Structure 1
Amino acid sequence: MPALKRFANPDVTRAVANLVWLGLERLTQIGVAIAISGVLARYFGPDLFGKWQYANTLLLVLSPITWVCGAEILVPTIVHRPPAQLGTVLGSAFALRLSVSAVALVLTWIGIGSGLTDPVVGAMLAGLAVTMLFREPFVGVINAWLQSITYSKPQLLTSMTTAIAKALLVWLLVRAAAAPSRFGWLWALESAVIGAALVVYYVRRHQGKLGWHVERTLLRHFATAGTVFWLGLICMYLFLKLDRLMLERAISFADLGRYSAAQQLNENWITLALMLAQTLAPAFVYRIQDAVQLRRNMWRLTAMTAVLMIAGALALDLLAGFIIRRVFGPDFEEAVDIFRWAVWLSVPAGVEAIGNLVVLKYQAKFVLLSKWLLALAVACVVNLLAIPRFGAYGALIGLAVGYLAAASVNFYYIRYKLRP
């Protein structure tokens, strides 16, 4: 009976519905990403596909720069301020994010124009980089407002719809034998459509007015608050993409394309671990105040996640040949063995994601920054030693050691914070 009463609580019902939509959106994005990668891999071939993946890697390294004033700062500010100040809060965050994103985009284009990248990679990145102008200023700000009212359905539904539409447009461009540089602009179009749809939704919810204003004091606060978390996220994404950044200098783009094909599938599998962590966090971590109970929950969640990741990795290892050939085609045969080894990275990645929940629960921003700085430094050293000897497999070793370093910091913090 108490459980039924808790479920009948409108806040709990709204949170559960939010999780359901989040799960549907993530699964849709994973399915669309795999489908698009398969189509482009067969159309481009290993060499061009390697350049496409490297352009995406550069985008994912550059994008965290625009994550200034993250959700961990913006959402609590929206919640704690009076409703009458919502327009000022969102307007100030929007102005800051738009300024940073515009500077990041211009600098990216200057770098491309200066020849800092391969010409084809630069042409692909030119369109992809435009997503920075729409994702955080428009989508990110309104999504923070939606999170504050525990109602992310509009953003998630829009994201699912545009992802499916983008997949259809990719297929049409392939049928039309479009130049490789054209495809990046589809990602820019997708982000612009999502941003426009969310702005329209926000305006309709507020009597047809946007009502955003900039307050200088709040703008300065947003520019400085959360800086440590922001730097930590930058380090995290550098770590996650360091393998491809360093491999680009050591192997051909064709080999990089095969490695990236295997890693993209693996990263989608690892995303499920992150989804699991996000789903379990509120009930088993964030709401638990008793240290003994929280410590017990953490060990149980860690063990459960490790078993799940091992079982999944074993299944993917056995099916690696079928999956790679089915998705990417015969030109990516060499990616099979890489994928077999890469899927086992999901074990330390999943364990790290669960341990990170305690770091987030207590807002241990310096622990987060130190953890990813350590993982980045360790992975860099290992890559420098292992890639010349083992090639792509050396990069996998670097990732594995980096994940273990990050997980070790989590375990140390948990023992320190939750000691009896």
Structure 2
Amino acid sequence: MLRRIAHPDIAKAAANIVWLGLERLTQIVVAIAIAGLLARYFGPEVFGKWQYANTLLLVLAPITWVCGAEILVPTIVRRGESDLGAVLGSAFVLRLTVSALALAATWAGVAAGLTDPIVGAMLAALAVTMLFREPFIGVVNSWLQSLTYSKPQLVTSMMTALGKLALVYLFVRMAVTAPRFAWLWALEAAVIGVVLLIYYARRHGGRLGWRVEPALLRHFASAGAVFWVGLICMYLFLKLDRLMLERAISFADLGRYSAAQQINENWIALALMLAQTIAPAFVYRVQERAQVMRNVARLMLFAAALMIGGALVLDALGSIIITRVFGPNFADAIPIFRWCVWLSVPAGVEAIGNLVLLKYQAKFVLLTKWLLALAVAFVVNLLAIPRIGAYGALVGLAAGYCAAVAVNLYYIRLKLRP
């Protein structure tokens, strides 16, 4: 046991998980504090519009994820330090081009009046984050993930999150109009991107050394295309509940539903980040299929236990959390919150199983999985939302997650069985 703990990969992963836990705890506290400030300041209706603008952003953002981490991290690990400049430079140019086009298309849609005016003003500012998240933050973070050393990104994210909280509080005290709050998210993304670029340059002799390799650029654009479409389907599935509820309930009720989901999604994000930080050491670099199977099985059990424990605590404290954070106007969100926290269990198990698909680059399986989850959730939402409202959207999410987990387990059984 002591020899295992002393193994460098395990030691690095353990340190990474500690920083991950601190960062996730900071983000959860900050997100809850900001949500509480905005909910009380905006009121249910405007808060519903704020949440809907964020939903639209999270549906649009995956467009910028061409050549995602599932392609980039294994490529960095495989090609090594000598080709790092070409790998990161090619990924950066591709992502920056797509992000700029996505931002321009979003602004064009807002200018054309495709959304509620307040939602559009919020979205126009929030969309600027796309220009920094993937080209700058995403590229450097993929390099850090390949080293199983995410501390620089995590520390920067913690500091900027606390700074954003302070500015949100200041804006509330100054009675700033609702759309202007969105520019704080754009500022946060820009600061993180600049800090990570400076860190990378300092680790490489004071310069980036990035260059574009045409063959690699074409490879990233083509090899990542199926993964890219799959990720778009995944995030559309994750936000389908709010997209469909927006047409069935008022913005005030959507604000209450989104308040419950926002806290839950911060908790679910822990499973996703946990999977990302342990993937290189325990899945991507392991060659024996039997060992991969053992590692994945243990990680699934660990994720399930972690999510169940968290769901029990959040369920028990649901009333206190909602009323203390969002205020009495959001009391109707309490029963929704108590149900939605249990979605973290299939979400955590799915995140671990998904690592096997990424390791073996099973891009068509991944695409099929999220298309199936999206289709299942859409059908269930279509039938359940008119009958039971917001609870129907939770049933749709649960059904979609179960479909995704089933596909993961089926692929793992075929790929890794003795």
- TM value normalised by structure 2: 0.92
Structure 2 residue ranges without an equivalent (≥5): none
Contact between 2:64 and 2:102, CA under 8 Å: does it hold in 1? yes
| TM alignment of 1:263-278, pairs within 5 A | 263-275=261-273, 277-278=275-276
Question: Is the partner of 1:183 in helix, strand or coil?
Answer: helix
| TM alignment of 1:289-308, pairs within 5 A | 295=293, 298=296, 301-303=299-301, 305-308=303-306
The residue number in structure 1 matching 2:373 is 375
Question: d(CA) in 2 for partners of 1:77 and 1:181?
Answer: 40
Of 327, 330, 333, which aligns to 2:328?
330
Question: d(CA) in 1 for partners of 2:152 and 2:389?
Answer: 44
Question: d(CA) in 2 for partners of 1:299 and 1:146?
Answer: 26
Root-mean-square deviation (CA), in Å? Answer: 2.3
Contact between 1:348 and 1:403, CA under 8 Å: does it hold in 2? yes
Deviation at 1:278, TM superposition (A): 5.0
When residues 305 and 20 of structure 1 are mapped into structure 2, their CA distance, relative to the original with a 3 A threshold, is closer
The residue number in structure 2 matching 1:319 is 317
Question: d(CA) in 2 for partners of 1:395 and 1:330?
Answer: 23
When residues 69 and 311 of structure 1 are mapped into structure 2, their CA distance, relative to the original with a 3 A threshold, is closer
The residue number in structure 2 matching 1:236 is 234
When residues 313 and 159 of structure 1 are mapped into structure 2, their CA distance, relative to the original with a 3 A threshold, is closer
Question: Is the partner of 2:252 in helix, strand or coil?
Answer: helix
- TM value normalised by structure 1: 0.92
Deviates more, 1:105-114 or 1:298-307: 298-307
Of 251, 254, 257, which aligns to 2:252?
254
Deviation at 1:418, TM superposition (A): 3.3
Deviates more, 1:133-142 or 1:179-188: 133-142
The residue number in structure 1 matching 2:339 is 341
Deviation at 1:142, TM superposition (A): 1.7
The residue number in structure 2 matching 1:352 is 350
Question: d(CA) in 1 for partners of 2:89 and 2:283?
Answer: 33
The residue number in structure 2 matching 1:401 is 399
The residue number in structure 2 matching 1:162 is 160
The residue number in structure 2 matching 1:150 is 148
Contact between 2:148 and 2:277, CA under 8 Å: does it hold in 1? no
The residue number in structure 2 matching 1:53 is 51
Deviates more, 1:403-412 or 1:107-116: 403-412
Question: Is the partner of 1:405 in helix, strand or coil?
Answer: helix
Of 205, 223, 227, which aligns to 1:225?
223
Question: d(CA) in 2 for partners of 1:287 and 1:80?
Answer: 10
When residues 206 and 361 of structure 1 are mapped into structure 2, their CA distance, relative to the original with a 3 A threshold, is closer
Question: d(CA) in 2 for partners of 1:193 and 1:231?
Answer: 29
Matched, 1:34 2:36: no
Q: Deviations over 1:362-413 (max 9, x none)?
A: 3322211111100001101111111111111111111111111111112222
The residue number in structure 1 matching 2:386 is 388
Deviates more, 1:30-39 or 1:119-128: 30-39
When residues 207 and 286 of structure 1 are mapped into structure 2, their CA distance, relative to the original with a 3 A threshold, is closer
When residues 224 and 352 of structure 1 are mapped into structure 2, their CA distance, relative to the original with a 3 A threshold, is same
Question: d(CA) in 2 for partners of 1:89 and 1:110?
Answer: 32
Matched, 1:116 2:109: no
Residue identity opposite 1:393 in structure 2? Y
Structure 1 residue ranges without an equivalent (≥5): none
Q: Deviations over 1:161-180 (max 9, x none)?
A: 11110010000000100000
Residue identity opposite 2:36 in structure 1? G
The percent of aligned pairs where both chains have the same amino acid is 75
The residue number in structure 1 matching 2:363 is 365
When residues 296 and 101 of structure 1 are mapped into structure 2, their CA distance, relative to the original with a 3 A threshold, is closer
Question: Is the partner of 1:129 in helix, strand or coil?
Answer: helix
Deviation at 1:291, TM superposition (A): 5.2
The residue number in structure 2 matching 1:24 is 22
The residue number in structure 1 matching 2:183 is 185
Of 130, 134, 137, which aligns to 2:132?
134
Question: d(CA) in 2 for partners of 1:57 and 1:48?
Answer: 14
When residues 223 and 305 of structure 1 are mapped into structure 2, their CA distance, relative to the original with a 3 A threshold, is closer
When residues 12 and 382 of structure 1 are mapped into structure 2, their CA distance, relative to the original with a 3 A threshold, is closer
Equivalenced residues, count: 418
Question: d(CA) in 2 for partners of 1:84 and 1:419?
Answer: 36
Contact between 2:66 and 2:221, CA under 8 Å: does it hold in 1? yes
Contact between 1:285 and 1:294, CA under 8 Å: does it hold in 2? yes
When residues 200 and 254 of structure 1 are mapped into structure 2, their CA distance, relative to the original with a 3 A threshold, is same
Deviation at 1:95, TM superposition (A): 1.2
Contact between 1:23 and 1:275, CA under 8 Å: does it hold in 2? no
Of 194, 197, 216, which aligns to 1:196?
194
